[in-house]
């Protein structure tokens, strides 16, 4: 096989991950940088441009996974999903001007990554959610990615539950920002470590797991998936418990309605790399 390399970006609200991956899906290099989009959109453009210029002589194309709703016709961002970000109409064409490129929603990419390389092999109906700065979602129906009439399907973080959006209550950012117990802790791993010796913080985590479960139960009633996959950076954290989420899901499901089993809810097998794999797969297959 003629090995060709590609530059792949996964643009999240907090970090931008990037990798050099070849057409056998082997990762050769991988790195990340902080996304300064909240401060100035040009900071993001400049950093992506710098990385592209570094690798442009080595690659055959660029695949991009990004949060937000993607305008497939123009390969631009139609809607960022996060009001504070001035990300609409971000123009990748002016950056990647020497190579073909493809842009897709980040959770759609992650779901496709899991479908072909991870936990969703041989699964025809599934939902994937990613917990991070917000909550993203993607839907697989009869082995097809479901995007809806206007490409807004899967924007599950915007669901309203008890007069607030789901991501305002159950994202990783919400977990950290809403914690009044340890205001100096600003990352989830330190919170997990502290919870091991602090029962009050353990109960706070349990409340968070329950909020995640309520959203998943609603999605299960709507789509009845074979599996619900949870991704995002937290899926790499060993202390994150899908068993607790399953426990709270059972609390809200009708007693005689077996929508889920202990095997329904799983962490992403590819962890935080799922979107990188999926973005390249979609680029190479243009689907």
Phi-psi region of 276 (alpha: psi -120 to 50; beta: other; left: phi over 0): alpha
For position 259, what pLDDT does the model report? 64
Q: Which of 31, 112, 76 is nearest to 280 (CA)?
A: 112
More confident of the two residues 13 and 85: 13
SS3 245: helix
Cβ 223 vs Cβ 153: under 8 Å: no
pLDDT digits (tens, 9 = 90+) for 93-145: 889 989 999 999 999 999 999 999 999 999 999 999 999 888 999 999 999 99
Task: Report the mean per-residue pLDDT for the chain.
Answer: 88
For position 287, what pLDDT does the model report? 54
Instruction: Read off the pLDDT of each residue in 45-62 and give the average, rounded to a whole number.
Output: 96
pLDDT digits (tens, 9 = 90+) for 6-51: 999 999 878 999 999 999 999 999 999 998 766 678 888 999 999 9
User: How many whole angstroms separate alpha carbon 37 and alpha carbon 51?
Assistant: 16
Q: Is the pLDDT of residue 67 over 60?
A: yes
For position 243, what pLDDT does the model report? 93
Q: Is the pLDDT of residue 76 over 90?
A: no
Q: Is the pLDDT of residue 84 over 70?
A: no
For position 5, what pLDDT does the model report? 97
User: How many whole angstroms separate alpha carbon 287 and alpha carbon 167?
Assistant: 28
Q: How confident is the model at residue 82 (pLDDT cuts 50, 70, 90)?
A: low
User: How many whole angstroms separate alpha carbon 151 and alpha carbon 157?
Assistant: 15
Give 52's Cβ-side CA count (13 Å radius).
22
Instruction: Read off the pLDDT of each residue in 159-186 and give the average, rounded to a whole number.
Output: 86
Residue 192 sits at φ, ψ, to 5 deg, of -60, -45
Of 152-166, 186-200, 229-243, the one with minimum mean pLDDT is 186-200
For position 122, what pLDDT does the model report? 92
Instruction: Read off the pLDDT of each residue in 236-252 and give the average, rounded to a whole number.
Output: 91
pLDDT digits (tens, 9 = 90+) for 254-270: 765 566 677 789 999 99
For position 85, what pLDDT does the model report? 61
């Amino acid at each position: 096989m003629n090995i060709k390399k590609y530059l792949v970006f996964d643009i999240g609200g907090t970090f931008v991950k990037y990798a050099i991956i070849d057409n056998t899906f082997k990762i050769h290099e991988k790195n990340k940088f902080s996304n300064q989009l909240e401060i100035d959109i040009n900071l993001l453009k400049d950093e992506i441009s710098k990385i592209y210029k570094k690798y442009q002589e080595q690659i055959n194309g660029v695949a991009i996974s990004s949060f937000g709703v993607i305008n497939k016709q123009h390969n631009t961002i139609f809607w960022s999903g996060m009001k504070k970000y001035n990300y609409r109409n971000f123009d990748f064409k002016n950056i990647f001007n020497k190579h073909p490129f493809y842009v897709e929603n980040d959770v759609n990419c992650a779901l496709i990554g899991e479908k072909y390389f991870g936990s969703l092999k041989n699964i025809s109906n599934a939902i994937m959610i990613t917990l991070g700065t917000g909550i993203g979602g993607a839907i697989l129906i009869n082995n097809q990615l479901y995007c809806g009439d206007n490409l807004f399907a899967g924007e599950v973080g915007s669901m309203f539950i008890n007069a607030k959006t789901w991501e305002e209550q159950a994202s990783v950012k919400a977990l950290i920002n809403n914690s009044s117990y340890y205001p100096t802790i600003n990352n989830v791993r330190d919170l997990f470590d502290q919870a091991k010796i602090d029962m009050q913080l353990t109960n706070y985590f349990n409340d968070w797991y329950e909020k995640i479960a309520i959203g998943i139960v609603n999605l299960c009633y709507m789509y009845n998936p074979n599996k619900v996959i949870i991704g995002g950076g937290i899926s790499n954290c060993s202390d994150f418990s899908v068993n607790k989420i399953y426990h709270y899901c059972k609390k809200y499901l009708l007693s005689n309605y077996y929508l889920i089993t202990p095997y329904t809810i799983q962490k992403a097998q590819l962890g935080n790399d799922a979107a990188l794999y999926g973005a390249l797969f979609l680029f190479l297959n243009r689907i």
